[in-house]
A and B are shown apart, each in its own frame.
Chain A
Amino acid sequence: MKRLFVILATLLLVSTAFAIDQGKRFDDPEMQARYEKLISEVRCLQCQNQSIKDSNVTLAADLRREIARMIEEGQTDEDIAEFLVVRYGEFALYSPRKTGKTLILWVVPFLLVLFGGYALMRVVKHRMSLPIGDDTEQEG
């Protein structure tokens, strides 16, 4: 029994070895943070619905390498996003840019909240204008 337990415990330890090699480690913690954030926001085109951080297919590894190189060269996050969009289209970014066609994705939710708030206000105002005690207004 004890032996079984030891074997199971060892297997648990081994599982960490399957973690994906994220390649690059920067000396500068700020660069490392940018790198981690960027690779978690880029879609792996080969295995859609994963980020390139979570995928170990070759293309994801290539893109991680390119992004690391661009960070080292001092390029900004916008430059890197542009690099990806030019090659793979907006679809490559999990967090769409706040310009052009994708701006609508960012604006519409706020418009919907405003619209909902306005509708709610009208309903409440209408109810408040009803005579008190008149609870008989039933929904059909």
Chain B
Amino acid sequence: MNRYVWPLVAVMALLVFLVMGLRHGDPRALPSPFIGKPAPQFELPTLKNPEVTIGTNTMAGDYSLVNVWATWCVMCRAEHPFLLELAAKKAIPIYGINWRDSRLEAIRWLDDLGDPYLASAYDEDGRVGIDWGVYGAPETFLLDPAGTVIYKHLGPLDAVIWQREFVSRMSGGGQAQ
């Protein structure tokens, strides 16, 4: 009888790991290697005015959101009203990175739907997107006043996620990080 105990234990252990793997949640949501590190440096022309540039330095000094978006991104349209709401409440400065998009279409999108961004960087060839480890818009990074990435959310932002994942990480909005 005893000889069956160890194989049984081994199989049970394997099962536990399998179930843990299955319950991992969204398999597309990968842990960002940037959490706790300074936001990648960049300098890009803004979407609306190619002569003005925007970069990581622009964002320092306060908590800020960096939202990666594009007009071809369906879920960006879904989260857009919530970004407008945040901007209207002046909850946090929001910067955009317009990723792999057409400038004209992107400007038209902001004119039609409203512009929640203080400014959007225009990343035409996706080079900055790669530096930020972007792999699926929309992606939203939360930066602390020192410019450190403290959270990244993949997929559309909404009020529930905002409260649970973002507000709680900002000091003054719950427990300090």
Q: CB within 8 Å of B: which residues of A?
A: 45-46, 48, 58-59, 62-63, 66, 85-89, 91, 140
Decide if B136 touches A62 in the complex (CB within 8 Å): no
A87-B33 contact given A48-B28, A62-B129, A66-B130, CB 8 Å threshold: yes
Query: Nearest 8 pairs between A and B by C-beta?
Result: A45-B135, A87-B133, A62-B126, A89-B33, A88-B133, A46-B135, A58-B100, A91-B30
Of all chain A residues, the one with the shortest Cβ separation from B4 is A140
Contacts of B130 in A (CB 8 A): 62-63, 66, 87
Contacts of A87 in B (CB 8 A): 33, 130-133
Judged by a CB distance under 8 angstroms, whether B25 is at the interface is: no
Bound together, the chains give a CA A66 to CA B129 distance in angstroms of 12
- What per-residue 1/0 map shows which CB atoms of B1-16 lie under 8 Å from chain A? 1000000000000000
Contact-size category for B: 10 to 19
Contacts of B132 in A (CB 8 A): 87
Rounded to whole Å, the gap between the CB of B71 and the closest CB of chain A is: 13
Rounded to whole Å, the gap between the CB of A71 and the closest CB of chain B is: 16
Bound together, the chains give a CA A66 to CA B28 distance in angstroms of 23
Contacts of A88 in B (CB 8 A): 30, 33, 133, 135
Residue pairs across A and B with Cβ atoms less than 8 A apart, 23 shown, are A45-B30, A45-B135, A46-B136, A58-B126, A59-B129, A59-B134, A62-B100, A62-B125, A66-B130, A85-B33, A86-B33, A87-B33, A87-B131, A87-B132, A88-B30, A88-B33, A88-B133, A89-B30, A89-B32, A89-B33, A89-B133, A91-B30, A140-B1
Judged by a CB distance under 8 angstroms, whether B21 is at the interface is: no
Decide if A59 touches B135 in the complex (CB within 8 Å): yes
Rounded to whole Å, the gap between the CB of A32 and the closest CB of chain B is: 22
Bound together, the chains give a CA A132 to CA B134 distance in angstroms of 68
List 14 additional A-B contacts (Cβ < 8 Å) besides A87-B132, A88-B33: A45-B135, A48-B28, A58-B100, A59-B126, A62-B100, A62-B126, A62-B127, A62-B130, A66-B127, A87-B131, A89-B30, A89-B31, A89-B33, A91-B30
Contacts of B172 in A (CB 8 A): none
Of all chain A residues, the one with the shortest Cβ separation from B40 is A87
Decide if B33 touches A48 in the complex (CB within 8 Å): no
Judged by a CB distance under 8 angstroms, whether B27 is at the interface is: yes
Bound together, the chains give a CA A93 to CA B134 distance in angstroms of 16
Contacts of A45 in B (CB 8 A): 30, 135-136
Of all chain B residues, the one with the shortest Cβ separation from A63 is B130
- What per-residue 1/0 map shows which CB atoms of B27-56 lie under 8 Å from chain A? 110111100000000000000000000000
